[in-house]
Structure 1
Amino acid sequence: MGDYLPIVLLALAGFLIGGVYSTWKTARGFSIMLAVAAVMAIVGGIGWMIYG
């Protein structure tokens, strides 16, 4: 599972970015929360690839 975790995190980030895009006009607060989660998933995925 350790080899696939960065890919899973980056896929999750893509899913979350899609959520940000679709909710931006209707629910800004929730959209910002999704954006923060997407950034965390991206940083975690890249960090896992580099240091893991």
Structure 2
Amino acid sequence: MVVAILLCLGAIWGIVTGVVQHRTARIIVSTMVLILVIAGWIYFSLNPY
């Protein structure tokens, strides 16, 4: 479950970074994705089911 979500986020991140070539926008998007991954990891750690 968690691995599938991480793979989906990775695919989305790859697509977005491929589309967004502007450096500042890419940093913002990367930070947002990183926050989402951490939040999702904490959520699934607290709620495994």
Gaps of 5+ in 2: none
Using CA pairs under 8 Å that are at least 6 residues apart, name the structure with larger relative contact order, 1 or 2: 1
Q: How many residues align?
A: 42
* 1:51, distance to aligned residue in structure 2 (A): 1.5
Query: Which residue does the alignment assign to 1:48?
Result: 43
> SS where residue 50 of structure 1 aligns?
helix
Runs of at least 4 residues of structure 1 off by over 3 A?
none
Query: Which residue does the alignment assign to 1:33?
Result: 28
State the percentage of identical aligned residues.
15
Gaps of 5+ in 1: 1-5
User: What is the TM-score when the length of structure 1 is the normalising length?
Assistant: 0.60
* 1:33, distance to aligned residue in structure 2 (A): 0.3
